[in-house]
Amino acid sequence: MLKENIKVAKKFNIDIRLIEEKVDIQKNMEILGNDLTFIGTREYERTKHVHRLHPYLGKFIPQLVEVFLKKYFQRGDTILDPFSGSGTTLIEANALGKNEENYFDITSAKPNMKEFVALKLKLLRWTGLRLSQDKGIKVFTRLAIPYNPYHPEPYERWTLKGLYDLKNNEILVGKEFWNFVASDNIYEELLDVFQEVGEELREGIDKKFAEFRRE
C-alpha cells in the first residue's frame, strides 16, 4: 500500500487487513503503481470538477480515472465513455490533455417521440454541463442504437425527424456505432462472435425459454 495511505489508515484507525482481504493491493501496485484505496485523498479533491453538482452516491472519484488514463492512454488518444453518467471520465481525459470528448447515450431500437425528446434533452444537458466547465472544449453528444431493426433498409423513424443532427452523426446505428467505438471496421467480426456465442449457448437458451412457457 502507498505510504501516504498507510499513514492515513493508522491516523483514523482503519484496519488495513480488512482492505487487503477484499482488494489485491499488491497486484494493483505492480500493474498501476497505485493501491486504488485512495484513503489519503481529501474530500475536496474527490469532489473536484462536476462532483458537487448532484448527490448521486454511485459516482467513482476522479482520481480513479486519472490512474487508468495515465497508465493506458497517450495524448491524442480518443477516450470513449458509452454511458457518461456524471461525465467524470471525459472531464478527466480533457484535464490530462486527451482528445475530443464524445458523450453517448445508448437506447433501444425503436424509441417513440417522447423518448426521443427526453434523450435529446439529456444530450443537451451533458453539453451544457461540460461547457460550463470549459467553454473551449470540443464536445460531441451522440445517441447510439445498437442494431438496425430495418436492415437492410436504412434506419428511419418519423419520431426523430427534426430533433437530431443526422448529417453530423448525432445518431449512430448498428454498424456505424460499433465501428466508431472501435475506431476500426469490426462490425462483421462482432456479428461472427454473436453467431458463435449464440450457437454455443443455444441449448441452454432454449431450455430457459421452455421454462418461461411452462410458467
Task: Please indicate, yes or no, if residue 9 is contained in any of the structural domains.
Answer: no
If phi over 0 gives left and psi between -120 and 50 gives alpha, with beta otherwise, what is residue 33?
A: left
Domain check: are 97 and 123 in the same one?
yes
For each successive 10 residues of the chain (215 residues), what is the average pLDDT? 80 82 83 82 73 66 85 76 72 70 85 89 85 79 91 82 83 90 85 91 90 78
Domain check: are 154 and 176 in the same one?
yes
Domain check: are 148 and 174 in the same one?
yes
Domain check: are 116 and 207 in the same one?
no
Domain check: are 82 and 126 in the same one?
yes
Domain check: are 110 and 208 in the same one?
no
Domain check: are 99 and 152 in the same one?
yes
Domain check: are 120 and 172 in the same one?
yes
Q: What is the pLDDT of residue 52?
A: 64
Which residues form the domain of 142?
Answer: 61-184
Q: What is the pLDDT of residue 68?
A: 86
Task: Please indicate, yes or no, if residue 144 is contained in any of the structural domains.
Answer: yes
Task: Please indicate, yes or no, if residue 158 is contained in any of the structural domains.
Answer: yes
Tens of pLDDT, residue by residue over 111-145, are: 888 999 999 998 888 888 878 877 877 788 889 99
Task: Please indicate, yes or no, if residue 143 is contained in any of the structural domains.
Answer: yes
Q: Using CB atoms within 10 Å of the CB of residue 199, give its burial: 0 to 12 exposed, 13 to 18 middle, 19+ buried.
A: exposed
pTM listed for this prediction:
0.56
Task: Please indicate, yes or no, if residue 50 is contained in any of the structural domains.
Answer: no
φ, ψ of residue 137 in degrees (nearest 5):
-75, 150
Domain check: are 109 and 69 in the same one?
yes
Domain check: are 112 and 202 in the same one?
no
Q: Please give the tally of structural domains in the chain.
A: 2
Domain check: are 126 and 215 in the same one?
no
Task: Please indicate, yes or no, if residue 19 is contained in any of the structural domains.
Answer: no
Domain check: are 170 and 215 in the same one?
no
Q: What is the pLDDT of residue 145?
A: 92
